[in-house]
Structure 1
Amino acid sequence: MNSSDFDREWRLGELFDARMLERVAPPLAELLGADLAILDRDGAPLWGRPAAEARREALVLEIEPAGYLASSTADPARLHSAGRMFTALLRAEARYRMASALHIEAITQDFETLKLEHSRLLASEARYRKLSEELEARVEAQVADLEARQQQLYQAEKLASIGQLAAGTAHEINNPLGFVSSNLGSFKLYLDKFAALHGRLAEGEAAWQSLDLDFVLEDGAELLADCTTGLERIARIVADLKSFSNEGRPPTELADLNGCLQHAVSVVGTPPAGIQLHTSLAPLPQLACNPGHLNQVFFSLIRNAMQAIQDAGRPGTVGIASEASPAGIHIRIADDGVGMSPAQLAKAFEPFYTTRAIGTGTGLGLSTARNIVLAHHGSIELASTPGAGTTATLFFPTAP
């Protein structure tokens, strides 16, 4: 049944089947007290056998008859009343059929609508899943690109730091090389005296005394000792530089941050005139870290502190302190230099920001330092007062 059923003219046989007629017709015949036949619209008998002269009562639902009651002996008035009653039954059945059809059609339409919406949701879900996968792939690619760029920044900062170290390191190495070279020159003269002695062995003691070989032997031993000390100093400087660059070491290992601070101090070298460097290092637990990266952080902060004092144009002190707490390790690097204004302090960790003249700073130091500290699940804070100095406080958690 569909919506066209609401506009049609029903036939009696469509509304009442034989079973229904068998239930309705006999009681109706008893009420009439006469013979009764029920005919379809075209006169075909549906129940009973009408006589040839039977009177017919039309059963009209809308416009055309749906069927007829036929009787040859019934009172016309009673047959008319029976027809009205039967018509009411037919109309009730027709309305029931139409209501049922309407309900089924509504359910069918709702189900079709739900199926359509479901198919649309499935298509939308597939589209968004594809977009999500593409977005995830793009995010992963961007993260990988950012990690690569961050690593490039680390290396750029390290190269910039080593570049600034070049002059100081050359000076540090040149000092021992100078006296090693001078001592070796003197020692060559001493050897020349021994060579001269070889040709005058016959003159004996007088030649020994004239060449002052007692002094030569004594001073020669001291020169060799000085050369050894100078070479050891050069070896120590080279070892500190290798430790600073983390050459030949795994990315993460257990390390003593006091050792990292001492390496950074060694790499910085002798402070400029008028600057004193004080350390107060308490025993610390070992930390799982990248020592090379932390060496770079400490070096940058110590270098910045010394430059801040130089910018102030007066003698000053750089203080380096460490201590342990139940939560972790605390490092403080403080200076009494030029300090920073609130506006400068707010931008201190921005990439490429520098308070110095163009060409005298990379602007990467504090930004890179913070990224390295954050990569170790730590924190770094700056406190500064213009004209009074700056304190950098670092924290590295050790508790799980």
Structure 2
Amino acid sequence: MSDTGFDREWRLAELLDPAQLERLGPPLRQLLGGDAAILDADGHTLWGLLAGDARRQALILELEPLGYLASNSGSEPALAAATRLLTQLLRSQARFRMASSLHLEAVAEDFETLKREHARLVESENRYKKLAGELESRVQAQVAQLEERQQMLYQAEKLASVGQLAAGMAHEINNPLGFARSNLSTFGAYLQKLATLKTRLADAPAAWHELDMDFVLEDGLDLLGETAVGLERIARIVADLKSFSNVDRATEELADLNDSIRQAAGIVERQLPPDISLHLELGELPRLVCLPGHLNQLFHNLIRNAVQAIQDAGRPGVVRVTSQAGPEGISVRIADDGVGMTPEQRERAFEPFFTTRPVGKGAGLGLSTARNIVLAHSGRIAIDSEPGRGTTLNLSFPTAP
């Protein structure tokens, strides 16, 4: 047996402390008729007075004596009976001490197990915190990268719109420039005729008639008038482009949404196919604190999308834009009779990169960009669409009370 733990060899002094000896001693003395002593295994007296000729009975729990009960006055039967009683008490004490030791060992083992588990949990928590920190850093890096790429795609969408706009505007500007050049060339020829007439002033009437100067004067005035109209058209186109790009208005200001709608519609209208028309029904609106350039882009994108939807349907159609003021603010409605959208397409219409057009025909950022612009102005945008019957976009903007 070990010296520690519940299965150790017990000493008598461990099983009977002084207080217990003081309680047991007097009853033993009475049972044995006057004197009694309790000795340990080495013969040392733990309690009582030991007479020189006292008889001894061994107190045995296992194999070896744990101690002795000694008495001079008690008879052999009485001493044997008292020894058995004391032995039973010692066995009870030993079992109690063994159970206590076993309990303490179990508690200690459980405590050590808990400490080990706690250490593992602390280590796991530290690893988790480290991984969580690394994950958060990676997520932030990925979010920053996604935002950067999304911004790049938005810019690409804007550049695509600007490219399409520039191509249409170049065509529009070339038309008045073409006939202005032709008019100026013809007018130069007319000036040559005036120079020839100068050399023939002697026979002026005949030269005037021969050179058809009446027509020259009449047509020259017409040419100057047409050229002035062409230059006016060029100036108007440039003014529309300047207003659309919002070069001179980089901050919020009070503006009329109808102006943004007209400017966007004017740019799109110049590029309309012959079988598609654009109708504006604009009511009187209160002025709105906004970013006019962003709203120009918003209405340009939405009207252009409506035109493309009609083109995709392969039939003539009309894009109708209406605006009106109400108690809750300004509402704008853009409707087309194009291909329309299924419920599934409507659910995903505002997702970045989602498009119903063929690959290479659109980046899927038009409606996403439009929604962001509307939300930036504290507005709302909703879609009402059916396949084959067209699409209606309903926009609302709150106004100051």
> Which residue is 1:118 aligned to?
118
The RMSD of aligned alpha carbons is 4.1
Separation in 2, partners of 1:394, 1:228: 40
> Which residue is 1:147 aligned to?
147
Describe how 1:130-145 pairs up with structure 2 within 5 A.
130-145=130-145
Quote the offset at 1:173 in angstroms: 0.9
SS at match of 1:302: helix
Separation in 1, partners of 2:391, 2:122: 60
Contact 2:346 2:383 in 1 (8 A): no
Contact 2:32 2:71 in 1 (8 A): no
Quote the offset at 1:12 in angstroms: 1.0
Separation in 2, partners of 1:92, 1:344: 85
- Seen in structure 2, the aligned counterparts of structure 1 residues 379 and 338 have a Cα distance that, compared at 3 Å, is closer
> Which residue is 2:241 aligned to?
241
Alignment-mate amino acid for residue 162 of structure 2 = I
Describe how 1:207-356 pairs up with structure 2 within 5 A.
227=227, 229-247=229-247, 250=250, 256-270=256-270, 271-282=272-283, 283=285, 286=288, 288=290, 291-310=292-311, 315-325=316-326, 329-337=330-338, 339=340, 351=353, 353-355=355-357
Contact 1:13 1:40 in 2 (8 A): yes
Alignment-mate amino acid for residue 126 of structure 1 = N
- Seen in structure 2, the aligned counterparts of structure 1 residues 97 and 312 have a Cα distance that, compared at 3 Å, is closer
Of the structure 1 ranges 140-149 and 302-311, higher mean CA displacement relative to structure 2 is found in: 302-311
Alignment-mate amino acid for residue 42 of structure 2 = D
Quote the offset at 1:147 in angstroms: 1.8
> Which residue is 2:366 aligned to?
368
Quote the offset at 1:312 in angstroms: 5.5
Unaligned runs of 5+ in 2: none
Separation in 2, partners of 1:326, 1:139: 44
> Which residue is 2:89 aligned to?
89
Contact 2:295 2:373 in 1 (8 A): no
Quote the offset at 1:344 in angstroms: 7.3
SS at match of 1:5: coil
Query: TM-score, length-normalised on structure 2?
Result: 0.78
Alignment-mate amino acid for residue 385 of structure 2 = A
Alignment-mate amino acid for residue 9 of structure 2 = E
Describe how 1:15-26 pairs up with structure 2 within 5 A.
15-26=15-26
Alignment-mate amino acid for residue 29 of structure 1 = R
Q: Residue deviations 1:326-354, cap 9 Å, x none?
A: 55543322223455677877876673645
Q: Residue deviations 1:4-28, cap 9 Å, x none?
A: 4322232211222334323432342
Alignment-mate amino acid for residue 363 of structure 2 = L
- Seen in structure 2, the aligned counterparts of structure 1 residues 349 and 27 have a Cα distance that, compared at 3 Å, is closer
Separation in 1, partners of 2:120, 2:251: 51
Separation in 2, partners of 1:299, 1:177: 25
Describe how 1:44-83 pairs up with structure 2 within 5 A.
44-83=44-83
Quote the offset at 1:244 in angstroms: 3.7
Q: Residue deviations 1:216-261, cap 9 Å, x none?
A: 9998788667655543432332233344445565487665433332
Unaligned runs of 5+ in 1: none
State yes or no: 1:384 paired with 2:386: yes
Quote the offset at 1:304 in angstroms: 3.5
Alignment-mate amino acid for residue 336 of structure 2 = D
Query: TM-score, length-normalised on structure 1?
Result: 0.78
Q: Residue deviations 1:269-314, cap 9 Å, x none?
A: 333324332112231552545x545433432332343344455565
Q: Residue deviations 1:140-192, cap 9 Å, x none?
A: 22222222222222222233333333443122112332344345446656777
- Seen in structure 2, the aligned counterparts of structure 1 residues 15 and 153 have a Cα distance that, compared at 3 Å, is same
SS at match of 1:7: coil
Identity rate, percent? 58
Separation in 2, partners of 1:328, 1:65: 105
Separation in 1, partners of 2:397, 2:119: 54
Alignment-mate amino acid for residue 8 of structure 1 = R
Separation in 2, partners of 1:372, 1:314: 26
Quote the offset at 1:383 in angstroms: 0.8
Separation in 1, partners of 2:363, 2:347: 15
Separation in 2, partners of 1:107, 1:252: 73
> Which residue is 2:168 aligned to?
168
Separation in 2, partners of 1:63, 1:294: 104
SS at match of 2:34: coil
- Seen in structure 2, the aligned counterparts of structure 1 residues 380 and 6 have a Cα distance that, compared at 3 Å, is same
Separation in 2, partners of 1:74, 1:344: 109
Separation in 2, partners of 1:32, 1:56: 12
Separation in 2, partners of 1:95, 1:305: 94
> Which residue is 1:11 aligned to?
11
Contact 1:370 1:379 in 2 (8 A): no
> Which residue is 1:181 aligned to?
181
Separation in 2, partners of 1:344, 1:15: 87
Contact 2:269 2:278 in 1 (8 A): no
- Seen in structure 2, the aligned counterparts of structure 1 residues 18 and 348 have a Cα distance that, compared at 3 Å, is closer
Contact 2:33 2:74 in 1 (8 A): yes
SS at match of 2:5: helix
SS at match of 1:6: coil
- Seen in structure 2, the aligned counterparts of structure 1 residues 383 and 51 have a Cα distance that, compared at 3 Å, is same
Quote the offset at 1:67 in angstroms: 0.9
Contact 2:38 2:68 in 1 (8 A): yes
- Seen in structure 2, the aligned counterparts of structure 1 residues 339 and 47 have a Cα distance that, compared at 3 Å, is closer
> Aligned residues, how many?
390
- Seen in structure 2, the aligned counterparts of structure 1 residues 246 and 56 have a Cα distance that, compared at 3 Å, is farther
